[in-house]
Chains A and B, each alone.
Chain A
Amino acid sequence: MTDTAQRLAEIRGGVPPRRHNARTIAALTGNPGCTRRAVLDSAGVDKPKLAERVGFPARFGQSRFAITRGNAFEAQVKADGGAELLRLVAERLGVPVPDGATWTDLGGDEDRPERSRAALTAPGDGPALFDHPLLGLDVAGRRVHLEPDLVAARLAGRFHVVEVKSFPVIDGQADPAKVAAAAIQSAVYVLALRDLLAADGQDPDLVSHEVVLVCPRDFANRPVASLLDVRKQLLVLRRQLDRMARIDDLLAAVPAGFTAQLTADPATLAGALTGVPANYAPDCLAACELAYFCRHEARGHTGALGRPVREALGGVAEVAEVLALAEGVRAPEPEQAEAAALLRAAARLRADALTGHPA
């Protein structure tokens, strides 16, 4: 075990690392500037349990209605050996619909990584669909296995990642937030699939950067396929994974002896977490299990109100400082002169208008 791995194990507190999936890897791209998150995720700490332990449980429940609907739609799309799926994907890609394709379900077996590797790198370029492949990705020096609910479609000699999602596309439009989440998740799979081919000495560009998203159309259950270009997401992902690979640099900023061991006393745990710098933004609430803890800690900071607010306040970090500068009771640092002048003018105008001076 390397020093880094040893250190990450200590942070975890000796328990096995929590497993990543495409969703958690995709979530890593959300707030790249956050050391706390990068360290905890690299160590594979169980963040939901940690958040609960320090008194700020996350709220990422999933309704069983949504799960049921998702499963039903996926089963429907994949029925009949993927015949309907093949037609949808081929038509969307603009290639002739093949008479048939081989359907390989790589799920449910013992020896999945090896079977997946063998199946996906086997010679041949006939139309083929691979369901439930097991893919691997290196995250912070550890091999992470992904078990995507996806189909890798090989058509006209190229692989396309096919994602089946149950949110609707209504008159050609879908919820932008859901599409964005699907795009970044798909990018994780594209990356893993490319790594797999590259490791086998094949051209990684055989995996297309265009992924096929299959969703229900309008208000009914008929599937419709759309293309998503995930080149941008691939870049973001690659950058974040590289950053996590340099975890040593990040660990240098972490106090020695820092541990997120879940059995520790909650107050000790919270104190230890405070020693690792976070970069809380309101967007974290939708992506990170520890967000409520970080929000509580960031109270009184302008960043907790959102980046646009902080920028409009001249980048001054603390609310108390903003108000002191605005009231002129505090002399600005040289680099704050401009912000302070703006804040004083704003405070004067605001007071003016609120006390009913004519405007």
Chain B
Amino acid sequence: MPASDPPDFEALASALARALALPVTEETLPGVATNLALAYRLAPAFLDFPLPDTLEPAAIFDPRPNPVVAP
């Protein structure tokens, strides 16, 4: 769950960009930070929702090899 006290998203985005080697510049930082802040604002809606520990994610994984497709 994100912190209840919102972080400085420009500082957070700047630090994450360095850590993840993402090409965020001084010019693009405000836009990236705005989008990061939006995700942090929305995410608690499902992060806080109680779910059973045994529930599997919805993504479907099929262990069989994909059929060969002719180009």
Asked if A and B bind, the verdict is: no
B→A interface (CB under 8 Å): none
